[in-house]
């Protein structure tokens, strides 16, 4: 961002773009051509909806996309062709991330190694019998047993393992669409 200082030491930030080949995503956003909240980013050109996990995931992903690629150039021109190809790629890859989003939504405990839950019923039948339910099941005595065994891992080793191997599903999606943007740097700024 360009900072313009005035005489009163107040400053105003302005976006400064220096595209090399195409146009930067930030320019498209700045000029109003890209607005991820306008409803045109929810479905393909033919109206087929993209299977987002939920609305919160869609908004979060587009916010991360904007942050990550704001100063990167779009990968092809014209703009509408790039948008169509980006949405097609998102529609193709979203289904494989459903399980990851569902696990996170469920509240998976990443520090837990295992959770074994067991439930069983012991029924004994002597005379006279007692009705268990309306379907004519009878028993003289019985008991229900439930148990759960949770095994937590070594905190330090699990944190290290998470750091080394876990990747957020949003980041995985952004990595897959990275090809839709080019990353060209130049030392030629403002034509000088």
Nearest to 82 by CA among 132, 131, 137, 23: 23
pLDDT at residue 3 tops 50: no
Q: Which residues pair with 85 in a beta bridge?
A: none
pTM of this prediction? 0.67
- Asked if 14 and 1 touch (Cβ cutoff 8 Å), the reply is yes
* Residue 134 structure tokens: 């309306």
* Residue 38 structure tokens: 């306008």
Element (H, E) at 90: helix 79-93
Q: How far apart are CA 122 and CA 183, in angstroms?
A: 66
The pLDDT of residue 1: 44
Residue carrying the six token digits 């869609």: 58
Q: Which residues pair with 123 in a beta bridge?
A: 142
Domain range annotation of the chain: 2-106+166-182, 112-153
Q: How far apart are CA 192 and CA 190, in angstroms?
A: 6
The pLDDT of residue 165: 78
Task: Please give the mean pLDDT across all residues of the chain.
Answer: 81
- Please, what's the b/e burial string for 102-117 (b: 16 or more CB within 10 A of its CB; e: otherwise)? eeeeeeeeeeeeeeee
173 compared with 116, residue with greater pLDDT: 173
pLDDT at residue 36 tops 90: yes
The pLDDT of residue 2: 44
pLDDT in tens, 5-19: 455 555 556 677 777
34 compared with 161, residue with greater pLDDT: 34
What is the mean predicted confidence (pLDDT) over 104-110? 80
The length of the chain, given as a count of residues: 192
pLDDT at residue 169 tops 80: yes
Q: How far apart are CA 151 and CA 31, in angstroms?
A: 54
pLDDT in tens, 53-74: 999 999 999 999 999 999 999 9
pLDDT in tens, 113-160: 777 788 877 766 665 555 555 665 666 567 778 877 777 777 778 778
């Amino acid at each position: 961002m360009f900072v313009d200082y005035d005489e009163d030491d107040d400053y105003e930030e302005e976006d400064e773009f220096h595209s090399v080949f195409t146009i930067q995503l930030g320019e498209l956003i700045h000029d109003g051509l890209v607005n991820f909240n306008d409803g045109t980013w929810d479905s393909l050109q033919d109206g087929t909806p993209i299977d987002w996990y939920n609305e919160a995931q869609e908004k979060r992903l587009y916010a991360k996309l904007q942050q990550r690629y704001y100063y990167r150039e779009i990968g092809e021109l014209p703009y509408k062709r790039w948008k169509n190809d980006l949405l097609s790629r998102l529609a193709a890859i979203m289904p494989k991330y459903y399980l990851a989003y569902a696990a996170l939504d469920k509240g998976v405990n990443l520090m837990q190694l295992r959770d074994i839950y067991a439930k069983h019923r012991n029924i004994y039948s002597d005379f006279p019998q007692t009705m268990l339910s309306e379907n004519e099941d009878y028993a003289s005595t019985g008991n229900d047993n439930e148990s759960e065994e949770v095994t937590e891992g070594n905190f330090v080793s699990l944190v290290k393992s998470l750091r080394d191997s876990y990747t957020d599903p949003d980041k995985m999606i952004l990595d897959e669409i990275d090809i839709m943007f080019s990353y060209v740097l130049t030392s030629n700024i403002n034509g000088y």
